[in-house]
Amino acid sequence: MKKITILIIFVNLVILSFSSCAKWKVNELKKNILFDIDEGTDPGEVHLSFTNDGYIDLTFDVRVSNNKIYCSDNIERRLQVFNREGTPLMVIGNNDEGEEGGIKMRSFSFGIIGTTVADQENNIFVQNTIIPGEKDGKKDDLDSTGMSPSYILVFNADGRIMYSLGQNGSADVPFYSIYNMYTDERSRLFVVSKSYDNWSVFRYNGKERDFVLHLDKNYFKEMDEDEELRGIVENIIIFRNGEKLLISVAFYSNVRFKYRKIFEYKIIEDRLGNALLQLPDPRNELFSLLEDKYIILWDVEKRDIRFSIWNLQENIINNLRIQMQGPRPYYEKVLVDEMGRLYTMIVADKRIEIKEWK
């Protein structure tokens, strides 16, 4: 089990009740600043925009994937690739082809860059949303709900576009409301889509879609004594082997939260398995999956972020905490890579700080 100590410090197994969160015994995670991305328009920088009230416009995003950092910049309409030491490796966007200061420059015209992820072969999958245009005084490229379509652009490791993907594989049916994207250990792409309370999962092996799952708002219902509870899907996480899903479902009696269940869905059998966990506390939400063996739940108290690590036999094996110290920044977000390593992206002093916690 490689580098399991990044997240899990094996101590005596402690089984705790979530009804007594204040009594958690936790291991503090320490920060390791990887690098900063300065504000600007040059390669290796990101164009940050602030409102008149001092808030930041979320025109950018950062994803840590397969040992590289991907930063989208929708003001400059470009995607940048960094290594873990902060060296910019490649820029894909509205720039001339060539090389600048050792950085590969690749020309491509994006719409709006959304979720980005890479596979083990360093192919890059980018959600590209079409920008509505004007036709006869009205916006076009919108569906009946007023949503703009998006496609998945697939670039190779050299930054060259290879093909684009839609819901059916070929780019004839677009996506709407992509929630997240993952790649598995076989470099297959998973697209998780959410529209209101309806969720879908698509798996692609190259251009071919080989699995699809639709979960509508009536998929999860169950009885609690004589009362029917409605289940609302909150999150879907992919196992690294690409053969199973974790589905987190909150069950409600009218508007009152009753409990949360985390189910295992077996793709090869195309069926929902048993619930791996049942949790009475609404604060502990599904966050990620570590090495296909450990479920990571999270909770936020003020600015401290607390994680509990469960095995698949419904036992807590550790609790972890990230203490976000210092003045409140413009923006902060917790990130996780395919191996379950934890990071934060913090915008402060007009630059993006990327930290690893271990």
Spell out a b/e string for 26-62, using b for 16 or more CB atoms within 10 Å of the CB, else e: eeebebeebeebebeeebbbbbbeeeeeeeeeebbbb
pLDDT of residue 54: 82
Q: Per-residue confidence of the chain (358 residues) as pLDDT tens digits?
A: 433 333 333 223 233 333 333 344 567 888 899 999 999 999 999 999 998 888 899 999 999 999 999 999 999 999 999 999 999 999 999 999 999 999 999 999 999 999 999 999 999 999 999 877 644 444 444 444 445 899 999 999 999 999 999 999 988 899 988 999 999 999 999 999 998 889 999 999 999 999 999 999 999 999 888 899 999 999 999 999 999 999 999 999 999 999 999 999 999 999 999 999 999 989 899 999 999 999 999 998 777 899 999 999 989 998 998 888 778 899 999 999 998 889 999 999 889 999 999 8
Three-state SS at 207: coil
Burial bucket for residue 293 (CB in 10 Å: 0-12, 13-18, 19+)? middle
Pairing assessment for the beta strands 244-253 and 227-238 based on DSSP bridges: antiparallel
Q: For domain 4-357, give the CATH superfamily.
A: TolB, C-terminal domain (2.120.10.30)
The residue written with tokens 């402060």 in the block is 348
Q: How far apart are CA 249 and CA 263, in angstroms?
A: 8
DSSP structure class, residue 243: S
